[in-house]
Amino acid sequence: MKTFKSHCAQGDIYISRVGSLPSNAIAVEPTSGHVTVTHSETGHHHVMDADTVTMYRLPDSIMDCLLVVKEPTALEHLRADHKHEPIMFEPGTYHVRRQREYTPEGFRRVAD
């Protein structure tokens, strides 16, 4: 299992540790005991345990935030083969930046 100090990447997401949660962050409800950090059309989502992590959306932003509160927890890729190695997160606040693409309307999140 991988660990990191200030930033890491898994698939199409880049995560960096930050000092605090932005004041405009909106909590996202977990699904089936997991926080889905990124969705995949094939169902191979990147998830974390909802008992230790809260996911937040940032309005008008392509970034989200994670708040790991209770204990270290892993970011896992739900794919049986060719999956990304789990990454362990220590308690703290993190920005989640997804791969993006340019369209005439502006930048948007890449959908896989």
pLDDT in tens, 26-57: 999 998 899 988 876 666 678 899 999 999 99
With respect to residue 39, please indicate whether it lies within any of the assigned structural domains. Answer: yes
Considering its fold, how many domains does the chain have in total? 1
With respect to residue 110, please indicate whether it lies within any of the assigned structural domains. Answer: no
Distance CA 106, CA 2 (A): 34
Per-residue model confidence (pLDDT) at position 80 = 66
Q: Helix, strand, or coil here: 106? A: strand
Write out the two tokens for 69: 């509160």
Residues facing 89 on adjacent strands: 73
* Sequence letter at residue 9: A
- Name the residue range of residue 71's domain: 7-100
pTM here is: 0.80
Per-residue model confidence (pLDDT) at position 38 = 80
